[in-house]
DNA sequence: TTGTATGCGTTATCAA
DNA sequence: TTGATAACGCATACAA
């Protein structure tokens, strides 16, 4: 009760445009005096702009800070949103995203898609829903294509691949890119992994059995690629002399392997910003659209 | 539009009490057909019970899943709330808790306290605000007292202590418990740590310099205790023959040290349930109250 | 058992 | 620059 109306108080709260200095001061004092806190729900209901967005990782919550890719994105998004005074929240479990005003979605399988009542942007291609869901993604298919083409131009003839989970867009698309350049593929040269180090090891051992004459492997993630290199080395193959290994992501580990990993670099520094930009478009009612960020072949020593 | 009123729909949504079977079915069908999703904000505004609660860790978010204590609590709370169909959300950053309907607060320093507009329960004693904030805590002071008394009864005479952060209630109270039985304390026997392994190592080295004749150490956390044992061992002291070491928490690591750690066991399995129970009391408008859970001296081999 | 009416706390649209 | 006033979508006391 500063002797002014609701409306004036609201104006002060939202930037104080079109409010006289005296009124503003009176309101400010009253606010402080009464320890007033705006009600988030009422605010959102009345149509305020979202001020909390959820970082929804469809795969695994507990691994959030262990997976360097997700971690990088998390940090970037936190930053990009904090710049605008918006909080990033981590909803956990099935319907938990209802607690926030908007959603950033990661590692979504087809089943995770479906129309959301909230403004939503997917990180990665929402395969099969490209026209309905806004998204930002790296050029997975193009990147895979670049890598495999590079391997081939380096004179490799028996190029195998370790894929990511095939129910994930990135997994499917990187395999598609491999197919694009290899043409008709020998099934013995394709093994599925799950992006983990361990699955890289297992996949490489299997590959060695199925196709002992392979001379290159395109691995769909750097972490798996490390596993592949380790397994290959243990089996007595030299990298890259006997077998060239190419990864994907340019994760921090790519610089620390021996030999350093040739990989496809994702534009990590751009993704969070684009994600947030797309989210605002969504909030402003623009139709869903997709942003495909270019990737860059980064040649080091493993291939 | 199932041919019924708003109120009936609302009733169906909230359990369907006092609704005829036919009406309920009609509503259910209409709901499915239209893909209706209730608006969370409107619901909360209209006075519904909270259905998203925030797990607010005041210290460090990124370490959430690394700290075994916090991790245990996180899992327990997720479970306890999921049983009631409620989602646990992880708000990150200063004001992020505003996105949820209620708050569970961990590792709060005095500065983090202050009256919240949301129902809130602290895990740990809100020192200086005991009457204003509801809380659930282990008996830190009593536990420390038990441990130090046990050390003394075992014939130890120069009992040192490595404290936790002294701006954290648990840190202060465990030190207070130590004081309670030691009486007038030799300042050379007290070194502050921060609950980390590394700080245990550093503290022990310092203690060895300041008080080479010590014959026991009460360490305020198991993780630090491991560091203390390692440092002691490296310095040529045998545990427990030369120096007895007692920890606090009964973290998983306590069983895996050598020698296995004598420690103060917190009732981890009870804390989440009590926290949630207190939260509902809070929601129902009961005045803040505190729950102090007993701890148990667990004697293994290190003391 | 059902419908009507009111209020929740805020923003936004108008007049004044 | 300000103050009424109407939404916002839902829950609930009360009337029917």
Q: CB–CB of A93 and B99 under 8 A?
A: no
Task: Write the CB contacts of A182 (distance below 8 Å, at least 6 apart in sequence).
Answer: A148, A159
pLDDT in tens, chain B (303 residues): 556 768 888 888 877 777 888 888 888 888 888 888 889 999 999 988 898 899 998 887 777 777 899 989 998 999 899 888 888 888 876 677 778 899 999 999 988 888 888 899 999 999 999 999 999 999 999 999 999 999 999 999 999 999 999 999 999 999 999 999 999 999 999 999 999 999 999 999 999 999 999 999 999 999 999 999 999 999 999 999 999 999 999 999 999 999 999 999 999 999 999 999 999 999 988 889 999 999 999 999 999
Instruction: Specify if A239 maps to a domain.
Output: yes
Q: CB–CB of A82 and B100 under 8 A?
A: no
Do B273 and B221 share a structural domain? no
pLDDT of residue B25: 84
Question: Is residue A94's beta carbon less than 7 angstroms from any atom in nucleic acid strand D?
Answer: no
Question: Is residue B7's beta carbon less than 7 angstroms from any atom in nucleic acid strand D?
Answer: yes
Instruction: Specify if B198 maps to a domain.
Output: yes
**Closest among B270, B174, B275 to B217, alpha carbons compared:** B174
Does the pLDDT value for residue A152 go beyond 90? Answer: yes
Contacts of A94 in chain B (CB under 8 A): 87
Residue by residue, what is the 3-state secondary structure of A62-110?
CCCCCCHHHHHHHHHHHHHHHCCCCEEEEECCHHHHHHCCEEEEECCCH
Does the pLDDT value for residue A216 go beyond 90? Answer: yes
User: How many Å does it take to go from CA B42 to C1' C8?
Assistant: 9
Higher confidence at residue B185 or residue A12?
Answer: B185
Do B200 and B240 share a structural domain? yes
Instruction: Specify if A79 maps to a domain.
Output: yes
Q: What are phi and psi of B95, to 5 degrees?
A: -90, 15
A177-212 per-position pLDDT tens digit: 999 999 999 999 999 999 999 999 999 999 999 999
Does the pLDDT value for residue A37 go beyond 90? Answer: no
Strand D, nucleotides < 7 Å from a protein CB: these are 1-13
pLDDT of residue A3: 60
Which nucleotide is closest, CA of A19 to its C1'? D1
Q: How many helices (H) and strands (E) does chain A have?
A: 10, 12
pLDDT of residue B295: 98
**Are B103 and B263 spatial neighbours (Cβ–Cβ below 8 Å)?**
no
Compare all CA atoms of chain A with the CA of B95 and give the residue at the minimum distance.
A87
| Probe site for chain B from A71, A74, A98, A115 (most B CB atoms < 10 A) | A98
Contacts of B44 in chain A (CB under 8 A): 41
The alpha-carbon radius of gyration of chain B (Å, integer) is 24
Does the pLDDT value for residue A43 go beyond 80? Answer: yes
Classify residue B150 as exposed, middle or buried by CB count within 10 Å of its CB (0-12, 13-18, 19+): buried
**Closest among A245, A172, A165, A261 to A208, alpha carbons compared:** A245
Residue A59 to residues A70, A75, A109, A115, A240, Cα–Cα distance (Å):
11, 18, 9, 19, 33
Q: Residue A14 is part of a domain; what is its CATH number? A: 1.10.260.40
Do B96 and B57 share a structural domain? yes
Return the bridge partners of A298, or none.
A263
Task: Write the CB contacts of B40 (distance below 8 Å, at least 6 apart in sequence).
Answer: A41, A98, A99, B51, B52
Instruction: Specify if B13 maps to a domain.
Output: yes
Mean pLDDT, all residues of chain A: 92
pLDDT of residue A2: 55
Q: Residue A285 is part of a domain; what is its CATH number? A: 3.40.50.2300
Q: Which two tokens stand for residue A201?
A: 């090891």
Residues of chain A with pLDDT > 90: what percent?
A: 67
How many other CB atoms sit within 10 Å of the CB of residue B165? Answer: 18
Residue A218 to residues A263, A285, B182, Cα–Cα distance (Å):
9, 41, 65
Do A206 and A132 share a structural domain? no
Q: CB–CB of A41 and B45 under 8 A?
A: yes
Instruction: Specify if A227 maps to a domain.
Output: yes
Do A212 and A275 share a structural domain? no
Taking the CA of residue B293 and the nearest CA in chain A, the distance in Å comes to: 28
pLDDT of residue B89: 86
Read off the pLDDT of each residue in A74-82 and give the average, rounded to a whole number: 91
Do B217 and B149 share a structural domain? yes
Contacts of B92 in chain A (CB under 8 A): 78, 87-90
With bands split at pLDDT 50, 70 and 90, how would you rate the model's confidence at A48?
Answer: confident
Which range marks the domain in which residue B80 is found?
Answer: 51-138+268-294
Compare all CA atoms of chain A with the CA of B88 and give the residue at the minimum distance.
A92
Q: Which two tokens stand for residue B7?
A: 């109120």
Contacts of B36 in chain A (CB under 8 A): none
Q: Tokens 């109120």 map to which residue?
A: B7
Task: Report the b/e string of B78-109 with b at 16+ CB within 10 A.
Answer: bebbeeeebbbbbbbeeebbbbbbbbbbbbbe
| Probe site for chain B from A99, A114, A120, A132 (most B CB atoms < 10 A) | A99
Q: Which two tokens stand for residue B99?
A: 């996105």
Taking the CA of residue A223 and the nearest CA in chain B, the distance in Å comes to: 20
Strand, coil or helix: A273 = helix
Strand C, nucleotides < 7 Å from a protein CB: these are 1-5, 7-13
> Whole-angstrom Cα distance, residue A55 to residue A272?
11
Instruction: Specify if B302 maps to a domain.
Output: no
Q: Which two tokens stand for residue A210?
A: 């199925």
Return the bridge partners of B186, or none.
none
Do A223 and A76 share a structural domain? no
Instruction: Specify if A184 maps to a domain.
Output: yes
> Whole-angstrom Cα distance, residue B174 to residue A115?
52
Do B32 and B81 share a structural domain? no
Q: CB–CB of A91 and B91 under 8 A?
A: no
Residues shown for chain B: 303
Which nucleotide is closest, CA of A7 to its C1'? D3
User: How many Å does it take to go from CA A20 to C1' D9?
Assistant: 34
Contacts of A115 in chain B (CB under 8 A): 35
Q: Tokens 């918006």 map to which residue?
A: A86
Question: From edge to edge, which strands make up the β-sheet containing A159-163?
Answer: A190-192, A159-163, A216-219, A244-246
- Compute the count of residue pairs across chains A and B with CB atoms less than 8 Å apart: 94
Do A272 and A134 share a structural domain? yes
pLDDT of residue A94: 61
**Are A113 and A255 spatial neighbours (Cβ–Cβ below 8 Å)?**
no
Q: CB–CB of A93 and B88 under 8 A?
A: yes
Instruction: Specify if A44 maps to a domain.
Output: no
Tell me which H or E stretch contains B108.
none
CB within 8 Å of chain B, chain A residues 65-104: 65-66, 78, 82, 87-96, 98-101
Do B133 and B145 share a structural domain? no
CB within 8 Å of chain B, chain A residues 215-234: none
Do A95 and A169 share a structural domain? no
Contacts of B65 in chain A (CB under 8 A): 62, 64-66
**Closest among A91, A96, A106, A95 to A59, alpha carbons compared:** A106
- H helices present in chain B, as ranges: 6-13, 21-34, 40-45, 68-82, 140-153, 169-182, 197-210, 222-234, 271-283
Which nucleotide is closest, CA of A20 to its C1'? D1
pLDDT of residue B1: 52
Higher confidence at residue A61 or residue B201?
Answer: B201
Whether the model clears a pTM of 0.95, i.e. scores above it, the answer is: no
Give the count of domains, chain A.
3
Task: Write the CB contacts of A96 (distance below 8 Å, at least 6 apart in sequence).
Answer: A54, B52, B87, B88, B89
Q: How far apart are the first and last CA of chain B?
A: 71
> Whole-angstrom Cα distance, residue B243 to residue B214?
7
Do B233 and B188 share a structural domain? yes
Q: Which of B35, B40, B82 sits opposite A98 (nearest CB)?
A: B40
């Amino acid at each position: 009760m500063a002797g002014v109306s609701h409306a004036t108080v609201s104006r002060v709260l939202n930037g104080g445009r079109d409010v006289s200095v005296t009124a503003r001061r009176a309101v400010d004092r009253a606010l402080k005096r009464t320890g007033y806190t705006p009600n988030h729900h009422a605010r959102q209901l009345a149509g305020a702009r979202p001020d909390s967005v959820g970082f929804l990782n469809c795969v695994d919550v507990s691994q959030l800070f262990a997976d360097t890719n997700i971690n990088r994105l998390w940090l970037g998004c936190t930053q990009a949103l904090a710049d605008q005074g918006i909080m990033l929240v981590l909803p956990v479990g099935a319907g938990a995203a209802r607690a926030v005003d908007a959603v950033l979605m990661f590692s979504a399988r087809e089943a995770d898609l479906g129309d959301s009542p909230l403004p939503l942007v997917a990180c990665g291609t929402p395969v099969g829903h490209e026209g309905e869901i806004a998204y930002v993604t790296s050029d997975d298919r193009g990147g895979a294509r670049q890598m495999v083409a590079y391997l081939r131009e380096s004179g490799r003839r028996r190029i195998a691949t370790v894929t990511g989970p095939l129910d994930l867009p990135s997994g499917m698309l990187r395999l598609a890119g491999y197919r694009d350049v290899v043409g008709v593929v020998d099934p013995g040269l394709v093994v599925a992994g799950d992006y983990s180090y361990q699955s890289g090891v297992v996949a490489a051992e299997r590959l060695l059995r199925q196709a002992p004459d392979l001379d290159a492997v395109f691995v769909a993630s750097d972490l798996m690629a490390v596993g592949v290199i380790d397994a290959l080395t243990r089996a007595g193959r030299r990298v890259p002399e006997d077998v060239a290994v190419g990864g994907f992501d340019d994760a921090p580990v790519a610089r620390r392997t021996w030999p350093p990993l040739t990989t496809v670099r994702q534009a990590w520094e751009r993704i969070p910003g684009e994600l947030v930009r797309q989210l605002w478009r969504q909030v402003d009612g623009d139709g869903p659209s997709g942003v495909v960020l270019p990737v860059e072949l980064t040649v080091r020593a493993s291939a």
